[in-house]
Structures are given as C-alpha cells and as structure tokens.
Amino acid sequence: MAKNLVIILKLPKTGSSALRDNKTLFFKILFCHFQVSTRTGIVSHYVRLQIVVPEAFILGSGEHHVDLGSVIHLICIVEKSPTPPQYVFWYHNDRMINYDATRGGITVETEPGARTQSRLTVRGATLKDSGNYTCSASNTEPASIHVFVSEGSNKMAAILRRNTSAIHGITSSATCLLLFASVMVHFGLR
C-alpha cells in the first residue's frame, strides 16, 4: 500500500495584518527533505524555501529634532520586497496624515521600486507636530521615529522632557529604595 505525503504551506497574503502581526517569521531560509513512497520505490526531493520578509525603516536615529516653524522631512525606505507596497501611510500619534487637509502643509511622495522611498514633508512645524511619526506600508511592519519641535535653544528642554517622562515609570519599591539610600547617605550611614 503506497502512502502519499501532502504538505500544505500557508503564508498570509502580502499586506495582510496576519503577516505584519506574525512574530514567528524569524527564519529566512528553510531546507526540507521530503520522501514519498510510490509503487516504484521511494522518491526523495530536497527543497530550499527562502522566505523574504520586506522591511521598512525611517532614515535617521530614533529621534528627530527640528526648530519651530521649520520643515519636518522624513524618509521611509521599504526594501527586500518582491513587489513594491500597494500603499505607504504616514501617521502622527496614531492619526493618518497622508490626506490631512485640516493641518495643511503636509505632502507625501512615494517612489515605488525595488527599494521604495516615501517622503513625508510637514511645513511650518508647530509644537503640536511633536510626537511619534510612523510609516506603515502594505507589506511590512511599521517603522517609527519620535519628532521634537522646539524653539532653537529649547532642544535640551525637549530632550529632558522625554527623559523625565521615563522616570515616571519607576515603581514605588524602586522609589522607596532610592529614598532609603539617600537618607543613608545624608546621615552618613553605610
């Protein structure tokens, strides 16, 4: 009696949220060896399956500082994609801004290709334009950068505001430990 081997490999469609949300696609190349019994014997077949996962990133570091009234320029690159993304949406603090007519001064230019580039331009930056900017293409995980808009000499204040907001996350036990340590130092007890 011959046994048949059926292998079904299901991958989400390009651009589906399942592909973007699936955190298990860490591997790039998978080697498989299949053996199937037939009437004439065993047939072996080796398969090399290469999975290419498109990637998006915004040029620069995780932070971008601009002066009040200046222009915010961000460039998102989508690469390692067999086909260009169907769309690239830009978000400011979780709000899509590609077609934001109320703010005005926002343009998005996308050049599809083997290495798709999407450029976001925000003219006349105001303090309200500070925040998280995200580039979300149809076939990738989103990429983000934090933009700080400040008046010339207030760049340090913007950095301190961000750093001190992280301090609010300290747990009460850590706060008690810091308080206890400072009391010990103050009274010379070690």
Using one digit for the tens of pLDDT, what is the confidence trace for 130-166?
A: 999 999 999 999 999 999 999 875 555 445 445 444 4
- How many alpha carbons lie under 13 Å from residue 170 in its C-beta half-sphere? 13
The alpha carbon of residue 4 and the mean position of all alpha carbons in its chain are separated, in whole angstroms, by 43
**CATH 2.60.40.10 domain residues, the chain:** 55-153
Q: Tens of pLDDT along 76-119?
A: 999 998 889 999 999 999 999 999 888 999 999 999 999 999 99
| CATH number belonging to domain 55-153 | 2.60.40.10
